[in-house]
Amino acid sequence: MFSKFFIDRPIFAWVIALIILLAGILAFRGLPVTQYPSVAPPALSVTVTYPGASAEVVEETVIALLEQEMNGIENLLYMESAAELGRGSITLTFQTGTNLDLASVETQNRIARAEVRLPEEVRRLGVRVAKSARNYVMIVAMISPDKSYDNVALGSFAAGNVLDSIRRVPGVGEALLFGTEYSMRLWLKPEKLQGYGLTPADLSRAVRAQNAQLATGELGQLPNAPGQELNAVIVTHSRLSTPEEFGDIIVRTNPDGSTLRVKDVARVELGAEDYSVRARIDGQPAAGIAIRLTPDANALQTVAAVKSRMTELEKFFPKGVDWVVPYETSQFIDISIREVMKSLVEALLLVVLVMYLFLGNVRATLIPAIVIPIALVGALVGLYLMGYSINVLTLFAMVLAIGIVVDDAIVVVENVERIMTTEGLSARDATRKAMDQIVGAIIAITLVLMAVFIPMAFFSGSTGAIYRQFAVTLVLTMGFSALMALTLTPALCATMLRHKVAEKRSKFGEFFLRFTHGYTGMVGKVISRTGRYLLVYAAILLAVGGLFAKLPGSFLPEEDQGYFISIIQLPAGATQDRTLEVLSQVEQFYLKQPEVERVVGVAGFSFFGRGQNAAITFVRLKGWDERKAADSSSVALVRKANMMLFRIKQAMIFAVNPPPIPELAAVGGFDFRLQDRGGMGREKLLEARNIALGMAMQNPVLAGVRPEGQEAGPQLFLDIDRLKAETLGVSIADLNETLQSLLGAAYINDFVHKGRVLRVQMQAEADTRRTPDDILKVSVRNKQGGMVQLSELATAKWIAGSPKLDRYNGLPAMKIAGGPAPGRSTGEAMAAMQEIADKLPPGFGFEWSGTSREEMQSGEQAPMVFAVSLIVVFLCLAALYESWSIPFAVMLVVPLGVFGSVLAVTLRDLPNDVYFKVGLIAIIGLSAKNAILIIEFARRLQDDGMELIDATLEACRLRFRPILMTSIAFIAGVTPLAISTGAGAQSRHAIGTGVMGGMLTATVLAVFLVPVFFVVIRRIFPGHARKHVEHEEVHHE
């Protein structure tokens, strides 16, 4: 027999264990540490810039064309687009496992096909394709403690000396500057342009001509004249660099010899390239660099690398410039990982204590305590070879595995000790006999538990990625556990256990002996009334169905991640001054809260769109050890902030907790996309959205339902009379160029400032473009050389239009976000939104995106996962027992475990989320394990000639202690998860509560009902007794 080899050669068993231990330690050093694996589907972002174009123009001339080409890309799941003032973006989300490098090449090829149809300005500035995560992992802020640098100076310093260096850090997918760098600004004076008969195009041509980098050649350049003895490069003053030099550019030379220069018709200054975004730290001016990860990046390593790079760069910072990290999500990752590892150690200690309580023997307890860490460390080798990481999911799996792994060791040790005590055999002989009896049970338990989890590894999507982490970790651990149970554990039993004939039982031993006799008597009464207890089982089945139906659905628990986000949206058309005023009020509110550490405010930017009326705050909280009160969690603070900030009437302000997996969504809650599928138009789509919002406001299941995007606002429509323009000799092209140069920021060319190439831009002075009348005073030159005011060929009128237009899967769409009311789950909220969508007028549909889409998919996959697991377990048992009937007796125990799981999460008001589903699958295997321990022995005894009832009672008596030991050890192992606090506690509660409740009922109910199932099945299907034959008997002399 396999185990006898190691019983006789214990050093060989130790060598195998030590090799596994050494390999595991080496693997641990090389395994990356992350919060989650690559769960989110990979995505590409396509970004275009179209200066001065309205959202409608960007949508019609750029986004719609690109979307048409994007349809049909291999493995594309969905695409979402947004058109804003002067820019547009398309996010392409692919199936999990897609090679983004290949997808990026195909995307760029499709863009190239559409490029000829794009506007010239868009082609000139380029279409950018990038791999990027959805959310920011950290923000690095440049500050000036002595206030010697303003926003623009800090932004320009960050752009020139920090930004590019950070972008080169491995793992950084995108580094977005919340600020601006310098630009040479030509502030035009329209009245002077008109007086001199000039247009912006004249200035643009003059600047391009006199601010040019010239390639002047060489003195004596080949081929040179015979006898040439000197060769030198010819250089000249070409590109300009100061405002004074640009002001002196000659625009026109008059007949009398006088010159007209740029400074005569414009004010020149070194200003900001872009005034639309302003960042602040705790209310003070700053420049922020927001960092997103590449899809396969390790958050902890990337954050550490960025900090290290900043430490290197700060040596070269000028006086008055410093850097801080006011916002960082990796802190939660680090602490939550440490909390789970703490639970892992606690679980190990509790399991050892339970074993000592039952065994009452230090030597016997020491054996499983040695074996468990080896099995866990062995699993790390498999994770390393398969390219996995140490993350919350794999650590959760290891905590569950402690309770499972200990089963094999306990079954061996308990059986050896029982034989030594009852039959008086030596440790070596008792170990041999024990292994002959239980090797089949060990293999059966291992195969069944593996069979439960292996199907989980073959499901797709984000939910499949989560299942896969659990499945692979548990299967690896159980494989090493079974190997140890057949090698090291019997070797340790044979060498470490000592037989003491006169040893007196402990008080606990005496109590448990009486308890076992009482239990056996109760089982005898139960199996004499099988019909009555089958009715009890039927009632339990009905209870399981009823509780399961009422269990609310969810994807993952909402966590206190140590930070949250506030979105600030002023009415459309509000200026940046008004936004900054509201932003200051929000910042001051947060800074007064004792739980808040820092506040990052950004005006002009939010996850709902850019614009003067938008802002966002990233609120970083103090450590979890400083926020132990229930009302100090991020969820409680979000609720408090929403109540208090609602009083600020100048803006719509709401705080949101980040989603559990930030890569799937920017903010928490559901992500509902209302689509115009019938071509009804944007106005009708807006009406349908407002109807949906109205119904959502009245629904008690929903809370915080809001539109995500920007509302329609005032737009000034210039109605140009093209016939009149032609009559007056005004070219429409010249008119468009004049308007863009004066009202937008027209890019002319570049200049060099402190070694960095920056833009030269021109725009009309701010006080000349304040009102529609100012705009109509703009003059354009006609073909005869005269100046024609815009008022002569155009009229201005106010209209309403959206500054941001969203699309989803190629259709006009509007985002609606929100969450469940207190006490409700996201699954109930999503069901309520579906009911609302069904009541909308025809022509409108909806789709889920981000986290909500994954939640729907997880709900759809769950029945298949459970069904496949049950079928595979049944087939494994049928093969092991060479019977179709006995596996039914094992499988009937599964609902007992499910009953406890559902009851436990119901009592704690927890939802049916992914963690609960994983725990439920574990309970399927663990419930079957308890049944196997009884049925395996009962079948063997019956095959040896014992009567059915007697065999069943004897099996219950013999296996009662190992069942209780393994079950209580497992429950003790998951207790730290179920009662934990701190970072990531909600996830630990979600998985710990279900498996603890399931194991309780799978033990308490199963020890009475499994004998009933076995007796009933054997009476209906008697089978053929198979006399157990010993393969060999080895007598130890």
- Mean pLDDT for 293-309 is 83
Confidence of residue 1028 (pLDDT cuts 50, 70, 90): very low
Cα 586 to Cα 573: distance, rounded to the nearest angstrom: 20
Cα 955 to Cα 968: distance, rounded to the nearest angstrom: 19
Higher pLDDT, 1015 or 578: 578
Find, among 956, 961, 963, the residue nearest to 941 by Cα: 956
Hey, what domains does the chain have and what are their CATH numbers? 2-35+333-499+510-555+856-1020 (1.20.1640.10), 41-132 (3.30.70.1430), 563-713+805-849 (3.30.70.1440)
pLDDT at 914: 79
Q: How much of the chain exceeds pLDDT 90, in percent?
A: 12
pLDDT at 206: 92
Confidence of residue 916 (pLDDT cuts 50, 70, 90): confident
pLDDT of 303-331, one tens digit each?
Answer: 889 999 999 999 999 998 999 988 887 77
pLDDT at 615: 92
- 848 DSSP β-pair partners: 672
pLDDT of 721 higher than 70: yes
- Mean pLDDT for 12-29 is 88
Q: How much of the chain exceeds pLDDT 70, in percent?
A: 95
Confidence of residue 132 (pLDDT cuts 50, 70, 90): low
Verdict on whether the full-model pTM lies above 0.85: no
* Most confidently predicted of 140-144, 853-857, 891-895: 140-144
The residue with tokens 């009452």 is: 360
Contact (Cβ atoms closer than 8 angstroms) between residue 794 and residue 220: no
pLDDT at 506: 61
pLDDT at 1030: 41
Q: What stretches of 671-825 show up as alpha helix (H) in DSSP?
A: 682-697, 722-727, 732-743, 772-776
CB neighbours of residue 244 within 10 Å: 10
Confidence of residue 509 (pLDDT cuts 50, 70, 90): low
pLDDT of 1035 higher than 60: no
- Mean pLDDT for 26-54 is 81
pLDDT of 184-235, one tens digit each?
Answer: 999 999 999 888 888 898 999 999 988 887 777 888 888 888 888 888 888 8
pLDDT at 244: 93
- Mean pLDDT for 418-430 is 79
Higher pLDDT, 940 or 652: 652
pLDDT at 860: 66
pLDDT at 858: 66
- Mean pLDDT for 39-49 is 84
pLDDT at 396: 80
Find, among 40, 126, 135, 47, the residue nearest to 91 by Cα: 47
pLDDT of 667-705, one tens digit each?
Answer: 667 888 999 998 888 889 989 999 999 999 888 888 878
pLDDT of 81-123, one tens digit each?
Answer: 999 888 899 999 888 778 888 999 999 999 989 888 888 888 8
pLDDT of 1025 higher than 50: no
pLDDT of 657 higher than 90: no
Find, among 682, 1012, 730, 769, the residue nearest to 52 by Cα: 769
Burial class (CB in 10 A: 0-12, 13-18, 19+), 677: middle
pLDDT at 1031: 41
- 323 DSSP β-pair partners: 142
Confidence of residue 1032 (pLDDT cuts 50, 70, 90): very low
Helix axes 914-943, 461-486, angle to 10 degrees: 30
The two beta strands, 844-848 and 322-328, are unpaired
pLDDT of 773-785, one tens digit each?
Answer: 888 888 888 888 8
pLDDT at 850: 78
Higher pLDDT, 508 or 850: 850
Quote the radius of gyration of the chain (alpha carbons, Å): 37
Would you state the structure tokens that stand for residue 285, as one six-digit string?
């001016």
CA–CA distances in Å: residue 80 to residues 90, 510, 555, 802, 806:
6, 69, 22, 17, 8
With H, G, I as helix, E, B as strand and everything else as coil, classify residue 315: helix
- Mean pLDDT for 282-290 is 88
Find, among 21, 125, 856, the residue nearest to 374 by Cα: 21
Share the mean pLDDT of the chain.
83
